[in-house]
Every structure is written in C-alpha cells, then in structure tokens.
Structure 1
Amino acid sequence: MQALGHALTQMVKTFRQECPQLQQSERTTVHGADAMLLVLQLAMADVSKQKSGEFKVALSDVLMVWKHLLLHKLHLQPPGAARLENYDLILEAYEGFLKRTNTVDLVDIFSGCKELRGDSEEVVSPVQLFEFLTGNTGDSPASSMPSTPSSKSRPCSSQVKVAVRRVFCSYLSLLINTKNDLALALTLDVPSRSLGRQTFTDLKHAAQNSSTSLFLALTSFVRAIQLGGKGYAPAESDPLRKHVKGLSSFVQFLDNLEEILGETPDPSVCGTKLVSAIRAALVKGCSGEEAVRAAAEETAAELKDRLCQLYRIQKATSLAGGTGISPARPKAYAVNHATAYGGRETVKLLMALLDEEALAPPCANKAELLSEDQPVLNGSEGTCVLTLFRSPEVSTGSSPEPLKKRVQSRLDLLKLKVGPRSIRSQFACTYRDQEPPLNRVLHFPSTSQAPTCVHPAPKPKTAALEVLASDKPSSFECHTGTRVLAPRSGNAPLRGVPGPDNAKMTKGIKRKQADVDVENVQRDNEPPEKMKQRTKTKAKKKLIAGQATLSSFFRV
C-alpha cells in the first residue's frame, strides 16, 4: 500500500511539472476518488433529467456506472463489451463538468503522464489504479460494500471529521481555482449563512444564463450591489436580491482569505493563518455542535502541521533544483501584481496539500458519501450534493389542503353572520323602531285559507273605521275584537301585555266608542229635514284641496 501511494505521488508530481503541456491553466485542481464519484452522480442525474424530467439517480446505478467508467477510461474493458444505457451521454456530461470547472481526475492524470513518458515508464499500472479508486486494495475487501443509509440514525465522530476536513480543503481550493463549482457547493452555506437550496438554485440559473462559473456569477452580483451604483445595480426582480445578506457574507469571508494570502509573505505563516480563519468561522457558526467543534480543532491542528512539513520539503527541494510547481504568473502591468507575487509561494504550498488530499483512500461506505444521511454542519437539515444541485419543486397549487384546514374553512362558511348590534340611547322612546321584515309581522292568509262565505251586504262604515282611515296615528281595538296595527314608539307598551297603562287605555277607548254609538242612534232618530240641514252645513264647511295650507300661510 505504501509503494502504491508513493507511486501515485510521483505521478501527480510529474503532472505538475508538465502541466503546461497538458492543461491550459496552471491552477487546475485534482479530483480524488470521492470527488470523482460525486461528479459522476451529478452527471447521471443531469442525464436522467433530460430523459425523464427528474434530477435523481439510484445509488446502485451510480456504483454500477462508476465501475464501468473506470474500466472504460483505463482501457481494461474489452472493446466488444456491451455498454450501459445512456452511457455516452453520461460520459459526455462527466467530461463537460470537469472541463467547465477547470479540474481533472486521477485517470486523466494517469493518461497524460502515460503519453508523456511512454508505455515503458509506467509508474502505476491501470489495474493498480483501478483497485485504488474502487477501494479494492486487498486490505479490507468488505469495505467497498455500501451500507444502507437508513441504518445510521446519527453520524459518528469520524464521519463528522471527514466532512469537516472536506470543507477545509474546499475553502483552500477556491483560493486556487475559483471555477471549482463542487468546492463552492460544499462551502456556500457552511457555516450557516441562511443560504439553502433555493439560493443555490438561483445562483446556478444565473451562472447558466451568463455562461460563467458559480463563483463568478456570485461575485459579479455582489460587486454590482456594492459598487455598481444606481445605473448598474441588478434589477429588483433579480432572484438573487432575496439572498443579498448571505451572499455578501460569503464573498466577504473569501475576500478576507485573499487578503491573508496576499499580505503574508511567509508561506507557512500564511497557511497557518488561512486554516485558523476557516476554523474560527466553523466554530463560530456551529457553536451548538460539540462534535463539529472538536473535529474543526483537530483538523486545523493536523493541517497546520502538514503545511509546515510541506513547506520545509519544498524549501529543501527548491535549493536542490525547484519544485516544478508553477502557478499562474502575474503580469507586470496588472494592478494587483504585488499581491499576486506575494502569494505565489503560498499557492504552491496549498496546491501540494490539495494534491495529497486527492490521493487519500476513497470512502469505504459509498452510501455515506452519496446519500442524504450526512453530518449536519450548517445548523439545518443534512443534505448531500445531489440534493443541493436539484432544484426545489415549485408548488402548482393543485395539491389539496390538509383535511383539518378544509373542515375549518367549511365551518367558517356555515357560521351565522351576526350583524352589529345598534346602541340605543336613553331617549330611544322618541325614535321610531326600525321596521321589521314582513315575514315576521304580517301574516296574510293564503287563498286556500280565506273564508268562502260572502256577506249579502257591506257593513256600515263606523266611526272606528273612519279614525283608522285617517292620517293620525292611533292605537285601539274595535268592538268586533279585531286588532289594528299602528306605529308605536320604542318604549310604548305592547299589545296584549297586561299592565296598568294598557287597562286605562282600554277603558278610554270603550268610553269613546259608547259616545259614538249614542250619537249614531240620535242621528238615526232625527227627522229628514234636520238631516238635510246638517248635510248642507257639512258641505259648506268642507275645504278644497290645498285650501288649509294657503289659509295657514296668509293667516300672518
């Protein structure tokens, strides 16, 4: 195992020495076995979305294609072997992601070194590299078998440590290669900046629209907000406007790391400061998680020691003949040429550290790496890279509401709507009551209930009916016992309710009715001449229409 590790290290060093002949950029970063598996999962999910419309893929399918991909790229598979379904599209998506993010995998490094040195000078055989990438080195054959994600209820401390170490290396990788979208995805919301899946989806769409990397789309938006002014600021309808605070915090943290990188000339001291700044951010953002804090402290101490060792090795090698690692040289006319020159040695040191991390043995449990059951580092629900790159589902409004809400809304509709009660003053007796609806006061009998008998002659019109026909409001009962409706005041006594006032009113009405009956009898007994004279007198006293009004007007 040690011999294989030494051979892989020599292969990567050869790649760094001959990097200008193999790559256009000198800041290309290397993907290890775990990162290659994550990129393959994203490529398969992308192809699945093109075919079926769903950005998801099964764990068993990823492991099967992973083995097929390694055999194909290492030329270990027979030429006539049957290919998997959509394998060509998956391979194209995988290679496109590596090219777009300015990264390479270990198989590409092996192929490049083989072309440069020839077949006779192979440091690592294809079979050895295949066994290393799949984890079948012979030390633990059962370690390559994936376990079920649901079997783990809580992440162990080693799993948290691996996740924390991956975050440290992702931050350092962004300082070297800002096009590394995978590194940005692992660090955007760690520690928590309230940047969830929706933020990452909006950022991904912005990068696709501008055909740039995620980091460039992010920094362009934040710089336009901070320095663009009113004329160049993004529109209010920009989806990233909702996440300005969290995105600005992330860019500010990376700016602080860039300042440390450019202002500290000693590479070992600069590397120590960078690791300390990342550790402080993780500890502050994950203050409630003791496991995360302990893992951050332990990982920071290990990385600091390793950076110091690598710097001593590079310094001794440079005295002997140079390290062969040459990051991008700044131009003499560039504005920040002094800062770039100051951080060149540190960039060499960080690249050597990240190359060692890429050569680390792959994760034994592939389900922990690819599934959603991962350690929680940002204070929210645990998620994996596949879930982060998957756009959240947009609600169409067609799904029904919960039964409890539907029942409550139906009960609210069935409730009687009681109108506002009017407040009456103590002088309510002076106001006339509001007329109630007819269906509560007047009960007219139907034609079927009306009496069928008809009187042979109409009854004579009595004085009581004359009074009822007059405009003056009155309230009484006729001698026939029929009740007559009349307007009443608010505090007037009700009909049919016993009381002293009602008894007095009934007696007065009966007395008046008796007087009217006596007058009618006397008139009937008068001679005809006297009745004619009385009729003429009434005709003389009768006024024409409007005469009373005119008389009262000219009476003054």
Structure 2
Amino acid sequence: METLGDRLKQMVKTFRRECHRVLPSERTSVHGADGMLMVLQLAMAEVNKQRGREFKVSLSDVLMAWKHLLLDKLHLPAPDLARLESYDLMREAYEAFLKSSNTVDLLDVASMYKQLRVADLDPEEPVSQSQLFDFLSGKTDVPESPRTPSRKACSSQVKTAVRRVFCSYLSLLVNSKNDMALALTLDVPSRSLGRQAFTDIKHAARDNNTSLFLAVTSFVRAVQLGGRGYAPAESDPLRKHVKGLSEFVQFVDNLEEILGEIPDPSACGARLVAAIRAVLVKGRGSAEEVYAAAEETTEELKERICQLHQIQKQTANGSGTGISPARPKAYAVNHATAFGGRDTVKVLMALLDEEALNPPCSNKADLLCEDQPVLSGAEATCVLMLFRSPEVSTGCSPEPLRNRVQSRADLLRPKPKERALRSQFACTYTDEDPPLSRVLDFPSSSQAPTCKHPAPKPKTPVVDEDVEDDVEDATSAEPSSGGPNEARREAQRGAALRQRSGNAPVRGDGQGDKKMQGRGKKRKQLDSENEPPQKKAILKMPGKTVGKKKLIAGQGKLTSFFRV
C-alpha cells in the first residue's frame, strides 16, 4: 500500500515530466513547506514596509496568514477567523516573489497536476486537498527515508541548517534565479558579506530588473574583464564588497566546471557535494557540530544521488521514451547549449524535488525568528533579518535618559581654572604681570603681534673693530694687578649674576647702561663676523701704527716685548 509520501512523489514526478506545457522554463524549482513559510514572511514584511511600517512581522501574523493561504489555494472553506487587513496585498507579493525567482510551491504543483496528468499513466488524484492541507500544516507525520547514522552527535537544528545550505548551492546550479537559495549561501561560509552587502545587491538587482545572482555575477565579471570604459564606477556601492563577491562567484564557477566536465551523474554529484563540504568544514575541528553535520549530510546526499541515477537509467532502458540521446527534446534541459551536465542536472532536480517533500519544521520559531544560530559567524541566518536593510543613523534618535542626565551634569559642573603656562624664565615675571597665555592670545596663529608705540632701542656707541682689538691687546699687554682693573672685573661679574630680563626693573646706578653697552659690543662683534670682508682703513694713533690685517691673539704683547 502506497503511503502519503509515495503519492506526493508521484505527483511531483508527473509535474516535472510535463511542466514544459505550462511553464516557460524547465528549471523551475519547487518550494516545500518551510520554503513557502519563509517566502510568505518576506512578502508580509515587504507589505508592511510599503505601508509605512518597519520591515518586520510577528510570528502569530505569519501563522494566521499561512493558514488562510493554504485554504485559499486549495479551495477549501475558510475558517471563522478574520483575515488580516492587508491579506490581499500579501498574497500578491507572495506570488510575485515566486514568479521573479522562477519557483513554484506545492500548492501550485497540486493544481497543475490535473492539467498535466496522463490518463493512462497517472492516477486521477493521488493526494486529496484535505490530505495536502494536513501535510503542509504539520498535522500528518510522513516517515523520512532512513539515513546513515553520524559518527558525531549533532543537534537536529544544526543538521537541518547544514542540509539546507547543501541543497541551496545545488539549487543555484539548477536555477540561478532562485533568490532564496542565494540568500542562504551568500555568506556561508563567512565571506564578510553581511546585511549591508546583501542590501546593496538587492538595490543593484532592482535597478537592473534582474535576479540577485545575476546582479552579483555581472558586477564581478565587469570588474574582472571590463576595461576603462566598462568597469563599474568607483562610487558603486558593491565596490566595498569586491573581495567577498569574487570569492562567492569563483566558488560557484568551480561547481559549474565540475558539472560540465564530468559526464557521469553519480561521480559528478559526489564531486559537487564534496566541494561544498570542503568549504563548510574549512577551519573547523572534528569535534564541532557543523563538522559532524556536514560529514553526515555529504554521505547521505552522495548515496541518494547514486540511487536516483540508477532509477533514471532503469526508467530510460525499461520503458524508453523513443527519443535518441543525440536528438534532445525542444524543451530539454540545456537545449542548444553544452551537452555536458544535462543528465546530472536532471538528477539534481529530482533530489531537490524530494527535499521539497520533507515534512514541515515542527518549531516555526526556529525557522522564522532571529534566534537561529549561524553556520558562518556571529550574525543570525534568519532570512527576514538578511532581507531587512540595516538601519541608517540619522543622529536624532534620543539617547537613554541616564546618558542625557550625565552629559547635562558634566556641562553644568564648574571647570577648574588651569594655571597659565610660563616659559623657563618664569622667575622674571612679577605677580601683577598678565599670564603668557593672555599676552599671546591672538585671533589666529598666522597673525603676528604688533605694537603701536615700540620701546626705543638703547644706543650703543660704534667703535671700530681694529681700534677695539688694539685696545684689548694693549690692555692685555699690561701686567695684571689688583688695582682698579680687578675692581672693574668684580663689578662686571656681579652685574652678570643679576636679573638680565627686560621685564625686571632697571636700577639707576649705571650698571644697566654698562650692561647694555656690553650687549651692543657683543652684537657688533657677531655682525662683523657674518659680514663679508671689506677693505678697512688704516688708523694712525700716536706711538703706534695699525696695519690692514687684524692682529691675532698675543701678537700685541710680542710686539711690545721686541720693541723694548
């Protein structure tokens, strides 16, 4: 006796065999119960956003709309519960998403079965409408196919998420327009493509009226192959995610190369599954749950692909279609394109159809809410969170009350007066002098201080350098004694130890004048050394003749000695 699962498989096989009569593409994907729920959640969130609300929806509203959707598409009597206000808009958004992603749900498959079935081959109604409603609602338990036990224990939640990623990668090879499959594989494993990257991809796909996968591949191809006039502009938002998008496209290209190079579906399917498993377990330890779940899923998918290949070979050899492999049908997969991979694609489509017939998830909160763990990193894998655009800070959002009170108290608190910074000659300042910070407080750093009435500079008597040197030589030639010369030296030392800053008061005992004369004398000597050599005049003094050349140190003493 056939079970409900066998009758559902018979319905989907009939649809897959004759779908070219009602669908424009044979590579149409089928959404199961879980996929239908996720698409409905996105459609309801999009309607809420169009009506001026946030891009979110409560779980209770999704379950209520889910029940009404099943009853409406199965033409069953509606319950007594009132519909949501925007149910019609949600239904339109749901159908539009399915059409744009080249997918159908199980309800569409059931409605098309009546048109596509052949009276001689297919039963009239393998599954009734009420049975299908109970199956999608989770009221009927359908036994799953036996699976190989895993070596490492892993939770069912992680295993389901890993299996969904495997099937999403395979679905992209069959149907590149499947936006849900791209959303589940874009950042798994982690490629630094979070919500912001996915939002930029959505905007690019909407502007070009293409699918998400085509928007990604066209951008990466333009970056890699485009010249100066064809490469994307530097202001393109996707420029920030070139590395992650390139890694994703390169991995999908590797899968497509395997699909086209290996003609045997069993070997090709095993290679595809092994490649997906390699990127998922890269960098993980064998003790992690994801590693164990990937290992188990890989073995199960390899075994099932081999079984489906054998079934298709027996069907083709036993019944026969009457069509030579060299002359494919006009609606066959990859018609007028590469021959390689055609049989493998058929096996993959049969595998994905069986995955769509799995019983619905018992815990809807784990499937739809934001608390589902991630396989790639720290953010949630909830599809709703991924499709929601990140919030842009406008700067006007109120801060917490505690922070506002603290900032206001800091503003009103009196600030301590800072001591003015003074130079190393701070000892020369008096108490009544203003601080240096006020004196140097100019409107700008480029503006120099000016004085309307500058202080007069002290006049220094100009003395010829030769005469001055002769005087010094003559003085040095005299014998040192403790007379007036010694007193004069002591007075000069005392003046040098006193305050030498211009801010200090100057005494009127004549020492200030001597000090200023000494400074002028030294300044004159420095200026004469820096000036270019000039012709000096010969001065005649009584009893002594001065030459043109400057005397060296000690020359005057030697001259006086030999003169004696």
Q: Which residue of 2 aligns with 1:422?
A: 423
**Could you tell me which residue of structure 2 aligns to residue 515 of structure 1?**
none
Aligned AA (1:226): Q
Q: Find the aligned partners of 1:251 and 1:285 in 2 and give their Cα distance.
A: 21
1:121, distance to aligned residue in structure 2 (A)? 1.1
Partner of 1:27: 27
Would the alpha carbon gap of residues 299 and 411 (structure 1) be closer, same or farther in structure 2, given more than 3 Å must change? farther
% identical equivalent positions: 65
Give the Cα–Cα distance (whole angstroms) in 1 for the partners of residues 320 and 99 of structure 2: 29
Instruction: Give the Cα–Cα distance (whole angstroms) in 1 for the partners of residues 417 and 219 of structure 2.
Output: 55
For residue 136 of structure 2, the aligned residue among 119, 128, 133 is: 133
Q: In structure 2, what is the Cα distance between the partners aligned to 1:190 and 1:347?
A: 23
What does 1:306-455 correspond to in 2, within 5 Å? 306-322=304-320, 328-330=332-334, 332=336, 337=337, 340-399=338-397, 403=403, 406=407, 414=415, 421-423=422-424
Deviation at 1:204? 0.4
Q: CA deviation at 1:212?
A: 0.5
CA gap 1:314/1:421 in 2 versus in 1, 3 angstroms? farther
2:206 pairs with one of 186, 197, 208: 208
CA distance in 2, matches of 1:226, 1:412: 59
| Pair 132,177 (structure 1): closer, same or farther in 2 beyond 3 Å | same
Deviation at 1:489, TM superposition (A): 4.4
C-alpha distance in structure 2 between counterparts of 1:422 and 1:493, whole Å: 13
Q: Which secondary structure does the structure 1 equivalent of 2:238 belong to? A: helix
Q: Which residue is 1:247 aligned to?
A: 245
Deviation of residue 361 (structure 1)?
A: 0.7
Which residue pairs with 1:53 in the alignment? 53
Q: 1:464: which partner in 2?
A: none
Asked if 1 retains the 8 angstrom alpha-carbon contact of 2:141 and 2:359, the reply is no
Deviation of 1:50 after TM superposition, in Å, equals 1.1
Contact 1:285/1:378 (CA < 8 Å) preserved in 2? no
Give me the whole-angstrom Cα distance separating, in 2, the residues matched to 1:472 and 1:342: 103
State the one-letter code of the partner of 1:201: T
Q: Secondary structure of 1:57's match? A: coil
Q: Structure 1 counterpart of 2:209, which letter?
A: S
Deviation at 1:379, TM superposition (A): 1.4
Distance 1:69 1:389, change over 3 A: same
What is the CA-CA distance between 1:375 and the residue it aligns to? 2.3
Match of 2:90 in 1: 90
Shift in Å, 1:397: 1.1
Residue 422 to residue 105, structure 1, CA distance change in 2 (3 Å): same
Question: What do residues 162-218 of structure 1 show as CA deviations (whole Å, max 9, x unaligned)?
Answer: 000000000000000000000000000000000000000010011011110000000
Paired with 2:238 and 2:280, the residues of 1 have a C-alpha distance of 25
Q: 1:445 — aligned with what?
A: none
Instruction: Give the Cα separation in 2 of the matches to 1:223 and 1:191.
Output: 22
1:201-248 Cα deviation digits (max 9, x unpaired): 010011011110000000010000000112111111111110000000
Shift in Å at residue 17 of structure 1?
A: 1.1
Name the amino acid aligned to 1:170: S
Corresponding residue to 1:225 among 213, 223, 227: 223
1:312 and 1:74 map into 2 onto residues whose CA distance is: 35
Separation (CA, whole Å) in 1 of partners of 2:176 and 2:64: 31
Per the alignment, residue 291 of structure 1 pairs with 289
Corresponding residue for 2:276?
Answer: 278
Aligned partners of 1:57, 1:406: CA distance in 2, in Å? 36
Distance (whole Å) between structure 2 residues aligned to residue 112 and residue 440 of structure 1: 93
Give deviations 1:394-453, integer Å, cap 9, x for gaps. Answer: 0001235673994898599946566665355xxx99xxx679876689xxxxxxxxxxxx
1:267 touches 1:345 (CA, 8 Å); kept in 2? Answer: yes
Q: Letter of the 2:351 partner, please give it.
A: L
SS of 1:131's partner is: helix
2:551 maps to none
2:531 maps to what in 1? none
If the length of structure 2 is used for normalisation, what is the TM-score? 0.69
Structure 1 residue 330: deviation in Å?
3.9
More helix by share: 1
Q: Distance in 1 between matches of 2:501 and 2:457?
A: 22
Q: Letter of the aligned partner of 2:36 in structure 1?
A: M
Looking at structure 2, the residues matched to 158 and 356 of structure 1 have their Cα atoms a distance apart, in angstroms, of: 19
For the aligned residue pairs, the C-alpha RMSD in angstroms reads: 3.7
Query: Which residue of 1 is the match for residue 36 of structure 2?
Result: 36
- 1:249-290, Cα deviation, whole Å (9 max, x unpaired): 000000000000000111100000000000000001555971
Structure 2 vs 1, CA of residues 79 and 472 (structure 1 numbering), >3 Å: closer, same or farther? Answer: closer
Q: How far apart in 2 are the matches of 1:406 and 1:156? A: 50
Q: In structure 1, how many angstroms separate the alpha carbons of the residues matched to 2:332 and 2:409? A: 66
SS in structure 2 of the partner of residue 300 of structure 1:
helix
| Structure-2 residue corresponding to 1:266 | 264
- Cα deviation per residue 1:71-116 (whole Å; 9 max; x = unaligned)? 0100002599964321110110000000000000000000001233
Structure 1 residues 30, 492: CA separation in 2 closer, same or farther (over 3 Å shift)?
closer
Alignment partners' CA distance in 1, 2:302 and 2:310: 13
Q: Give the letter aligned to residue 129 of structure 2.
A: P
How many Å apart are 1:472 and its aligned residue?
Answer: 9.0
8 Å contact kept, 1:190–1:377: yes
1:123 to 122, 126, 145: 126
Cα contact 2:308–2:350 (8 A) shared by 1: yes
| Structure 2 unaligned spans of 5+ | 144-152, 437-455, 460-497, 511-564
**Which residue pairs with 1:194 in the alignment?**
192
- Structure 1 residue 122, shift from structure 2 partner: 1.0
Which deviations, in whole Å up to 9, do the C-alpha atoms of 1:517-544 show, x marking residues without a partner? xxxxxxxxxxxxxxxxxxxxxxxxxxxx
Distance 1:492 1:224, change over 3 A: closer
What secondary structure is seen at the aligned counterpart in 2 of 1:104?
A: strand
Q: Distance in 2 between matches of 1:411 and 1:242?
A: 44
Cα distance in 1 for partners of 2:73, 2:503 equals 106
SS at match of 2:3: helix
Which secondary structure state, in structure 1, belongs to the residue aligned with residue 30 of structure 2?
strand
Q: Match for residue 9 of structure 1?
A: 9
> In 2, distance between residues paired with 1:471 and 1:357?
101
The count of aligned residue pairs is 432
SS of residue matched to 2:104:
strand
3-state SS of 2:235 partner: coil
- Residue 18 of structure 1 aligns to a residue whose secondary structure is helix
